[in-house]
Amino acid sequence: MVEVKKIQDFYKGLFATQQIDIDKIILYLEGNYFPVPTRTSIQITEDKHIESWEGGHINHHCNPNTEIKIHDDFIGRNTSNKSQPSLVGLVVAKRKIMKGEEITFDYNTTEAVMSEPFTCKCHGTLISGYNHYKSFP
């Protein structure tokens, strides 16, 4: 459904390999968990940041085509490993995504504090995390 592709030297993104319908789960974020953010982690709770290989290649956009949803591990993906948290991060399509389109999400919706703040290319906005301007999702 998705693949990592080179965009420019040292710059990659995640792209749809087929059309993806609205509300479709694109990825289950799986990987190692850390108590603090890294450059490519995605925050799933106040103190849990997941390093997912494919998720780490999802670039920011202020008007993204996906969102990160946090759910209880309702299908038991982690029940065999009790050291894993009971929550799972899902990358879900916010709208229809066309084949070949880059998968994006708004980093300010999940990250309290970015480990490496940057100015976005879409609107020139500083992306530094929501930094407690709202409660955690």
> Could you tell me which residues come within 8 angstroms of residue 94 by beta carbon, excluding any fewer than 6 positions away?
22, 64, 65, 66, 67
Question: Residue 59 is encoded by which pair of tokens?
Answer: 């670039």
pLDDT in tens, 68-126: 999 876 555 555 555 554 678 999 999 999 999 999 999 999 999 999 999 999 889 88
Residue range 40-53, pLDDT digits in tens: 999 998 899 999 99
Position 83, amino acid: S
pTM for the whole thing? 0.85
- The CATH homologous superfamily of the domain defined by 2-107: SET domain (2.170.270.10)
Domain ranges of the chain: 2-107
% helix, strand, coil for the chain, step of 5: 5, 40, 55
Contact partners, residue 30, CB within 8 Å, separation at least 6: 50, 52, 77
How far apart (Å, rounded) are the C-alpha atoms in residues 27 and 1? Answer: 9
